[in-house]
Amino acid sequence: MNPRIHSLTAPARRDAARVFRSLGAALVLAVLAGCAAGPYPNAADPFEGFNRGVSRFNDTVDDAVLVPVATAYRQVLPSPVRTGVNNFFNNLGDVWNFANSVLQLKAQHSAETFMRLNVNTFFGLGGVIDVASELGIDRHNEDFGQTLGRYGVPSGPYVVLPVFGPSTLRDTAALPVDIRGDLVDYIHDIPVRNSLYVLRVVDTRSNYLRATQLLGDAALDKYSFTRDAFLQRRRSEVYDGNPPDDGAGND
């Protein structure tokens, strides 16, 4: 049994089960509504009907839960505290960035990320203060999906995952490996680990409140805009900002 679920009391487990069943029903309805709206011609998004349904479900959860919590988070905590929280999680993430830089044989990225880790951990109060950026040591975001892309694994179709959001078939296959590379997952104290998970999600969502508001106001088709921007960004990340000009949308 999942230790996070097992740690709940019996009433809490029943409440959680009811919540998941409710969300599951909402997800099914959203997906069915999306599938009924086809057909869709985009070759990079053959599952568009399904993806639109999942996207609507994610938006509903986001509006009902994440946006109110993230808004309160920004209102309650002063900017320096939020910056420290963000820096702390970025520093933890640099461990996985370093591992993937090494796997991709990126010598400069590996060296810079290793330096960032040491500088911020030992001189930045465990990463709360981003000393490395002040010294001009760049941060390089790497994950296992990018590592697969580096070695020629194509991105595959665009997919939208429940809760996780935009992805591709390659990134979805890489997700379990990325999860195993998350240092928070190795904390044995379950309440502490779960608290860090929640804090990271809320902190990350709070950083995009303004952007999502602008997107909702400006985009005629929020789904298409998000999809195209995501695919373009992921392609750029695989090639470190210099994707080949081969006219292909898939990498």
- Tell me the per-residue pLDDT of 20-34, one tens digit each, with 9 for 90 and over: 444 544 444 444 444
With a pLDDT cut of 70, the percent of the chain lying above it is: 81
C-alpha closest to that of 200 among 114, 101, 119, 127: 127
CB atoms within 10 A of CB 243: 15
Task: Note the pLDDT of residue 40.
Answer: 67
Task: Note the pLDDT of residue 220.
Answer: 82
Least confident of 4-8, 24-28, 75-79, 153-157: 4-8
pLDDT > 50? residue 61: yes
pLDDT > 90? residue 39: no
Least confident of 33-47, 84-98, 194-208: 33-47
**Cis peptide bond prior to 39, omega within 30° of 0:** yes
Q: Could you tell me the residue ranges of all domains in the chain?
A: 57-239
Task: Note the pLDDT of residue 215.
Answer: 86
Task: Note the pLDDT of residue 90.
Answer: 98
Task: Note the pLDDT of residue 213.
Answer: 87
DSSP state of 184: G
Higher-confidence residue: 1 or 75? 75
pLDDT > 70? residue 2: no
d(CA 151, CA 172): 16
C-alpha closest to that of 113 among 129, 134, 127, 96: 96
Q: Tens of pLDDT along 206-234?
A: 999 999 888 888 878 999 999 999 999 99
Task: Note the pLDDT of residue 11.
Answer: 45
Angstrom distances, CA of residue 46 to CA of 40, 92, 105, 132, 146: 7, 36, 33, 43, 22
Mean pLDDT of all residues in 109-128: 98
The angle at the Cα of 29, spanning 234 to 207, to the nearest 5 degrees, equals: 40
Mean pLDDT of all residues in 81-88: 98
Task: Note the pLDDT of residue 250.
Answer: 60
Mean pLDDT of all residues in 141-166: 97
